Amino acid sequence: MPRLVWLNGCITPLEEATTSVADHAHLYGDGLFEGIRIYGRKVFKLDEHLDRLYHGASYLGFTMEVGKEQLKGIVLDVCRKADMDDGYIRLNVTRGTGLGLDPRAVKTAPNVMVMVSTLALYQPEMYDRGLDVITTSYRVIQADALDPRLKCIGRYAANIMAKAEANRAGAGEGLMLNAQGNVAECTGDNIFLVKDGVLRTPHPSSGILKGVTRDTVIALAREQGVSVVEDTITRFDVFAADEAFLTGTAAEVIAMVTLDDRPIGTGEPGPMTRRLTELFHAHTATGTPF
């Protein structure tokens, strides 16, 4: 089961893959990425991830020479060659290669990379126990600086610093607030609260990445008749919640059992969290086969 990289039409083993030091993402963080899961030889939510990627490319003004359907075929072909039953796909698209902040300095087409590898964000026992989370001192970037729906490589410097802060505190994740002091998201995950049977999650205007897993969980909950509210959420709401959990492509669905050393609900994964986790795992079988 080799870990493979497709870069601008050339496939190599991951360990041998290289890119130019003048790539605009390497120089300035000027690029986009998607993380996508492989479950049982099927690529989960591939169309949704590609839609977000191409919306972002349009927003940033990238002139894509690889079309969406063409890239979809490339992803599936690399997955076949990697021959993994379960894995993790990383898609990168950068503006191109060229020195200088001015986009006019980039004289090449966008660089496109498809990496097929593996990634385990948390140990299995953490899914049984749940995560301890701290509120970090780092805020999410405001929407008037960079639209949070943009999965931009450079945007994640603040998230990495917040994750390092959580690591130093011995926490499993770090909660990031927005400039108004309201709850936005964790460093790599969206957050959900359960209160009196209602599922609440920050509204996209709170400065969150509108996650593919987030949208999947919302749809699954509504199919079960659960009321879902996208709302302004504060830390008070987190402390007062009956349950809390996080979602993300790498994290999947995982309980959040404390915030800043205070238990949320019973301090254990709650029944709605466990139910939605089961539904999510069952839903992963709906991916695109390769």
Task: Report the CATH number at residue 31.
Answer: 3.30.470.10
Q: Which SS3 state, helix, strand or coil, does residue 6 take?
A: strand
Asked whether residue 120 carries a pLDDT value surpassing 90, the answer given is no
Residue finishing a domain among 86, 102, 117: 117
Q: What distance in Å separates the CA atoms of residue 50 and residue 197, rounded to the nearest whole number?
A: 33
What pLDDT band is residue 136 in, cutting at 50, 70 and 90?
A: very high
CA distance 48 to 40: 19
pLDDT of residue 135: 98
Render 219-283 in DSSP notation, one character per residue.
HHHHHTT--EEEE---HHHHHH-SEEEEEETTTEEEEEEEETTEESTTSS--HHHHHHHHHHHHH
| Alpha carbon distances (Å) from 95 to 24, 52, 63, 106, 286 | 6, 16, 8, 7, 32
**End-to-end Cα spacing for the chain:** 15
Domain count, the chain: 2
Helix/strand/coil for 158: helix
Q: How far, in Å, CA of 20 to CA of 31, rounded?
A: 14
| One domain, residues 145 and 261 | yes
Domain closes at, from 76, 94, 117: 117
Specify if 290 maps to a domain. no
Which domain range does residue 80 map to? 4-117
pTM exceeds 0.85? yes
Using DSSP's 3-state secondary structure scheme, residue 210 falls into: coil
Residues 76, 58 within the same domain: yes
Provide φ and ψ at 80, rounded to 5°. Answer: -60, -45
| SS3 assignment for 11-52 | EEEHHHCCCCCCEHHHHHCCEEEEEEEEECCEECCHHHHHHH
Question: Which tokens hold the place of 142?
Answer: 């405001």
Write out the two tokens for 174. Answer: 């770090």
Given a cut of 90, is residue 138 above it in pLDDT? yes
Q: Cα–Cα distances in Å, from 219 out to 37, 43, 151, 229?
A: 18, 19, 22, 12
Residues 69-110 have pLDDT tens digits of: 999 999 999 999 999 999 999 999 999 999 999 999 999 999
Domain boundary among 58, 89, 117: 117
- What pLDDT, on the 0 to 100 scale, is given for residue 26? 96
